[in-house]
Amino acid sequence: MKHQKWLLSVFSGLLLGFAWPFTGSITPLIFIGFVPLLILEDELYKEGKKSLWSAFKYLYPAFFIFNILTTYWIYNVQESLGTKLFSAGSAITLNAAFMTIAFSLFHVTRCRVGNREGYISLIIYWLSWEYLHLNWELSWPWLTLGNVFSIRGEWIQWYEYTGILGGSLFILCLNLLFYALYKNYVKKNRRGMITNGVSIFSLFILSFLFSKSPLLSEVQSSKAIEIVLVQPNVDPYNEKFQLESTDIQMVKMLDLARNRITKDSRFVLFPETALQERTILFPRNDSLILVGLWENNIEQSNSLRMIREFLEDYPDLTLIFGLSSDRLQAKDEEIGNASRYIESLDVYYQAYNAAIIIEKDKEVQFYHKSELVPAVEFMPYQWLLKPLGDLAIDMGGTSGALGTQEDQIPFFSSKDSIGISSAICYESIYGEVCAEFVNNGAEIIGIITNDGWWGDSPGYKQHISYAILRAIENRKWVVRSANTGISCVINPMGEIIQETNWWVDDSIVAKVYPNQLKTFYAAYGDYLGRIAAFLSILMLLYTLVSKIKFSTRETL
């Protein structure tokens, strides 16, 4: 019997893993991925095993296998063996543990309060967990269940109302219904099977009906503009951050842009950390001399000099670059976790993964990445995990605590005030981050990224597919510039209409249609997660009270 439990757990992990984009892509498997775990949990329930641990030890293999199959590519980073094991191992083992806890809480609640409330609690706990995973310092929402449909955009046009948590809710409900269908089949309960079948069919019909968005007729009603996307294909390990080659890289990027620019081109989008210069700070008389990409003195950098010369030939263009920048802090400025100290000069500065907008004769503007990668761009819960800092992945010199900004403010072209976001890499997997850009005026969702860190693996393919979800959620055109690929253009229905190949030098030009529409999701964000978080607190309290009452009855 024990072996059967382990087999059920393993089977569930395989179903979930093979359902995931680019590690199987058999998407319908997601609708039954939890069924073996529900059968396993029912066995534990019948055996009277009510503790969290009694469920955890059998459930964990399923989620561990799920995480390995879908995110093993994290190990591909070209670092020391210790760093590779730490980065991949911590992401896989911890994420699997968190998922297992959410499922195990459902088991405990079911044992204490009964079947109906118990099965409802599975939905509540799981959505609460996914919402938490979008918003805490250990955030790694790559495997949020709703992401599984990123290669099936035609199935989930209703994400404009719910976001990815709506997809998770849809999946959980269907798994419970398929499990009920299985139980009724075992019991030979034909009426129950018919009821379950009708419910499953009805959910799919509702999904189809809600995909007929009234906004789709409006998303191309505006005037088209032309955007050029540049993919320089600079090796992030062996070339990109070799500072002696930065001028060569700049010439390459500007030449790729020139190949596509026409008289109608309005924007040119370059990838994450496209601009690289050594930042130097040294004293002279009573002042400090700033050399390189210092935001305090950015116009004096060699990169800006080359870009300004380029713009002499294209005075109507708006350029957006990713860059690694530094900013010298004022003496009276608050010292934060991201502040770095130069003892010899007694000054503090902050480093950023940033984006910059540049137009002829206009002052540059910056956007600082707001959603940082844990253990790469900052160390979460430093008071606890700081000793592990030496094992953090070094993304081309951007490791350590980076500065951020709280608000997702888009860039606006001075010529026609068109707003475009500059979501940087990891930010594009957060629905609310892109929605906040839209709420602040973005009419086009721009994404700049690198994606070369993990090699030719499912990682970069999954990342681009998640951008499809951002297009549907906000009904906006998405333009994506990736250093090594894939750069692409996605329409508001989530269809990739132009794309480059992986690991080639390239640039593309596309016509997109800015719009000022705001979807229900853009207005209310991950409201399903907030509702579930509130209900989970009530459910946990209900479970706790029921446990106390049960213990009292046993004592009496």
Summarised one tens digit per residue, pLDDT across range 210-262 is 877 766 666 766 789 999 999 999 999 988 888 778 899 999 999 999 999 99
Output the CA torsion 286→291→297→302 (10° steps): 150
Query: Domain spans of the chain?
Result: 2-212+526-555, 217-524
Q: Residue 222 has what pLDDT?
A: 74
Q: Residue 398 has what pLDDT?
A: 46
Tell me the pLDDT tens digit for each residue of 101-120.
Answer: 999 999 999 999 999 999 99
Q: Residue 425 has what pLDDT?
A: 97
Cβ burial 273-305 (10 Å sphere, 16+ → b, else e) = bbbbbebebeeeeeebebebbbbebbeebebbe
Q: Residue 436 has what pLDDT?
A: 98
List the helix and strand counts (H, then E) for the chain: 15, 16
Task: Report the candidate in 179, 174, 227, 225 with the shortest Cα–Cα distance to residue 201.
Answer: 174
Question: Cα(77)–Cα(79) distance, rounded to whole angstroms?
Answer: 6
> Quick check: 293 and 277 in contact, CB under 8 A?
yes
Query: 419: number of CA atoms within 13 Å, CB side?
Result: 18
Does 217-524 carry CATH code 3.60.110.10?
Answer: yes
Task: Report the candidate in 273, 249, 475, 256 with the shortest Cα–Cα distance to residue 354.
Answer: 273
Q: Residue 381 has what pLDDT?
A: 78
Q: Residue 249 has what pLDDT?
A: 95
> Quick check: 348 and 327 in contact, CB under 8 A?
no
Which residues share a beta bridge with 230?
507
The ranges of the chain with pLDDT < 70 are 1-2, 214-218, 220-221, 383-400, 547, 549-556
